[in-house]
A and B are shown apart, each in its own frame.
Chain A
Amino acid sequence: MSFPYVHELETRTLLSEYQGKKDARTLKSWRDEGGYQRVRKAIDMSPETITDVVKESGLRGRGGAGFPTGLKWSFMPKEDGKPHYLCCNADESEPGAFKDREIIRWTPHLLIEGCLIGARAIGAEHVYIYVRGEFFEDTQHLNKAVVEAYEAGFVGSNIMGSTWSCDITIHTGAGAYIAGEETGLMNSLMGNRAEPWAKPPFPAQAGAFGMPTTVNNVETLSTVPGIIEHGSEWYRQWGSEKSPGTKLWSCSGHLVRPGNYEIALGVPLRDIIFDVCGGTPSGKPVKAVIPGGSSTAFLSAAELDCATTYEGMQEVGSSLGTASPIVMDEDTDIVRAMRRIAQFYAHESCGQCVQCREGTSWIVRILQKIESGDGRLRDIDTLYDLCEQMTGRTICVLADSVVFPLKSSLDKFRAEYEAKMTSDKVAVG
């Protein structure tokens, strides 16, 4: 837990200022701090202006893909006479990420404000906040906040006395990683299995209930009120040209001070791991880091000076993802860790695409074999072959998500895999 500890590298401005402060959960204190003024401001703005401000701010989706938020909003049809929906993706289930939960449980009103402004921008009449089912306790804070906001006339019909109306409904999931994929989420919302669908149709054409829909992450929407209040230039004072702003970093694994930290994008990853999080508890060197949640490629200790921006992470062959570094110290068994990661994807594959359904389980079985010492050198080739077969051939990116860590671990830590094979077996190859 980062609070009350705040590191000098932190910029606790937009998202985390009130984290750790229980009072901020109530509508009264939230209003005392200026809450809902941004919604008022957004009601007086035209939807196009809101979208433009967010576009200019350069805000990118915080759910992992980093798609520009303003651009996503601009895909929504205008004056088509159909109901529009906004889905807030709070199905946080990427291993390593735990930032959205922090927003939900400490600043639920911030999220509600973001949802309302987003809904206003895309002309949505109803916002569904899809929270993962396991977050019972945290959802209760959000529930309370939504009811408070309804009672105060901030949500529902004629918001703040204007002609604009918008409902919010909390919808809880029931345990499926794939419900965090946007089409899977909408399917789940509609009462189906959370199976992603092949695009097109894109959500902005035909999403939830067949109507134009936008799906935004909790952190993305929670950043919007600050941008609306202060403007896009203000937001751009942090980060880089292509990756502006601050980001919540969910740091876990072998760390002295794991937790969530709001840090401007662009800080070297090394500083986050060693300065902010205090390095490894054992004091041993770091062996590997998965920088953006378990679906991103491994980085070796030599690559930690990379800049924590979308482009900086790409340069080292990984991605920013959900900005959730999982740190592994020198004693970590990479094969074992990789087997555990693969097991997750095998468990969570929805089963629609053969490459993913079969591929993920094959990977687990091969890794188990190597882990137990029965591996052959040719198993490594089979794994590479699977990586090839599973990339870019499925409806969603779940199969690709296991390939990123697997392939990078084979590339960067091949010696560890080979060390598990006894020499005569290697010779048989």
Chain B
Amino acid sequence: MSREIHPAVVGAQPFQTAERGQFDGPIFKTKEGRLRLEMALTRYPDKRAALLPILHFVQEKKGWIETSDMEEVAEALEVTPAYVHSIVSFYTMYNQHPVGKHLIQVCTNISCHLNKGDEVLECFLEETDTRQGEISSDGEFTVIEAECLGACGFATVVQVNDRYFEGVTPENVSNILDELRAGSHKR
């Protein structure tokens, strides 16, 4: 499936999608991968600037970024694999490990903290029977604590893949999990 994307927004595609495993082999051997790379390169005076958009693309397709992907991206953008790794490990949104189908990020920063954010996080961990960063036994969920998600007036804020849940309370955690399990969240 190849959607048509305007070059101006090539780096701004949702990249924490729930669909996984579409790409097993090298990313840039595919037509879509090559197209995205070429398109991203037209938007910046410097090749390296396409690094973040391209890493987003890898994560969009694979759900996380592994060493072989970093090597491939490094070759395409003429930087070292170590450099790519330094970027992947600097930015929190790049997953360096596989995550569950639904990556649940619970904000516990100050405004959410004042509105039971910590309890919401505890509830998610308890209901999914995981510790932070683990994948639940059914492969559905990974729960982590997040820093401010920028929607403080609607605390507690929970981000699930590319979607925001606002005003989450400990009471509606199990409903959200049921909804996610049922897959009714798909856009």
- What is A's interface to B at a CB cutoff of 8 Å? 1, 83, 92-98, 100-101, 131-137, 139-140, 142-143, 146-147, 150, 155, 167-177, 188-194, 209, 211, 250-254, 258-260, 290, 294, 324, 326, 328, 332, 337, 340-341, 344, 347-348, 350
Residues of B within 8 A of A100 (CB): 150
CB distance from A170 to the nearest CB of B (A): 4
Residues of B within 8 A of A290 (CB): 110
Residues of A within 8 A of B86 (CB): 193
> Are B150 and A147 in contact (CB-based, < 8 A)?
no
Q: A175-B94, A209-B44, A340-B109 are in contact. List 8 more A-B contacts (CB 8 A).
A: A93-B148, A98-B151, A134-B149, A134-B150, A143-B9, A147-B6, A172-B12, A190-B49
Given A175-B93, A253-B111, residue A189 in contact with residue B6 (CB < 8 A): no
**How far apart sit A132 and B159, CA to CA, in the bound complex (Å)?**
14
Q: Which of B51, B90, B92, B152 contacts A252 (CB 8 A)?
A: B152
CB distance from A186 to the nearest CB of B (A): 10
Q: Which of A83, A140, A192, A258 contacts B14 (CB 8 A)?
A: A140
> Are A175 and B92 in contact (CB-based, < 8 A)?
yes
CB distance from B165 to the nearest CB of A (A): 11
Chain A CB within 10 Å — which of B53, B77, B87, B148 has the most? B148
> Are A193 and B90 in contact (CB-based, < 8 A)?
yes
Q: Which of B46, B55, B150, B153 contacts A174 (CB 8 A)?
A: B55
B62 within 8 A of A: no
> Are A171 and B12 in contact (CB-based, < 8 A)?
yes
> Are A146 and B111 in contact (CB-based, < 8 A)?
no
Residues of A within 8 A of B15 (CB): 133, 136
Residue of B nearest to A95 (CB): B148
Residue of B nearest to A144 (CB): B9
Chain B CB within 10 Å — which of A94, A96, A211, A324 has the most? A96
Chain B contact patch, size range = 35 or more
> Are B11 and A193 in contact (CB-based, < 8 A)?
no
Residue of B nearest to A171 (CB): B11
Residue of B nearest to A92 (CB): B150
**How far apart sit A290 and B52, CA to CA, in the bound complex (Å)?**
34
CB distance from B40 to the nearest CB of A (A): 9
> Are B154 and A191 in contact (CB-based, < 8 A)?
no
Interface residues of B in 94-152 (CB under 8 A from A): 94, 108-111, 113-115, 147-152
Given A172-B53, A188-B52, residue A143 in contact with residue B12 (CB < 8 A): yes
Cross-chain pairs A/B with CB under 8 angstroms, 6 sampled: A96-B148, A98-B150, A167-B43, A175-B93, A191-B49, A252-B153
- A-B residue pairs, 3 tightest by C-beta: A174-B91, A175-B92, A175-B93
Residue of A nearest to B90 (CB): A193
CB distance from B132 to the nearest CB of A (A): 14
Residue of A nearest to B55 (CB): A174
Residue of A nearest to B187 (CB): A137
Summarize A's interface: helix, strand, loop or mixed. mixed
> Are A326 and B164 in contact (CB-based, < 8 A)?
no
> Are B111 and A252 in contact (CB-based, < 8 A)?
yes
Q: Which of A94, A171, A190, A332 contacts B53 (CB 8 A)?
A: A171
**How far apart sit A100 and B148, CA to CA, in the bound complex (Å)?**
14
Residue of B nearest to A294 (CB): B110
Residues of A within 8 A of B164 (CB): 137
CB distance from B62 to the nearest CB of A (A): 15
Residues of A within 8 A of B50 (CB): 191
Q: Which of B9, B87, B108, B110 contacts A170 (CB 8 A)?
A: B9
> Are A344 and B148 in contact (CB-based, < 8 A)?
yes
> Are A150 and B151 in contact (CB-based, < 8 A)?
no
Residues of A within 8 A of B111 (CB): 95-96, 252-253, 326
**How far apart sit A73 and B159, CA to CA, in the bound complex (Å)?**
37
> Are A137 and B6 in contact (CB-based, < 8 A)?
no
Given A146-B9, A176-B90, A190-B49, residue A254 in contact with residue B114 (CB < 8 A): yes
Residues of B within 8 A of A143 (CB): 6, 9, 12
**How far apart sit A332 and B110, CA to CA, in the bound complex (Å)?**
11
Given A83-B45, A98-B153, A191-B46, residue A173 in contact with residue B91 (CB < 8 A): yes
CB distance from B134 to the nearest CB of A (A): 20
> Are A340 and B113 in contact (CB-based, < 8 A)?
yes
**How far apart sit A93 and B151, CA to CA, in the bound complex (Å)?**
9
Q: Which of A173, A250, A324, A348 contacts B52 (CB 8 A)?
A: A173
CB distance from A286 to the nearest CB of B (A): 12
**How far apart sit A134 and B164, CA to CA, in the bound complex (Å)?**
9
Q: Which of B49, B53, B93, B153 contacts A258 (CB 8 A)?
A: B153
**How far apart sit A168 and B14, CA to CA, in the bound complex (Å)?**
19
> Are A174 and B151 in contact (CB-based, < 8 A)?
no
Residue of A nearest to B43 (CB): A169
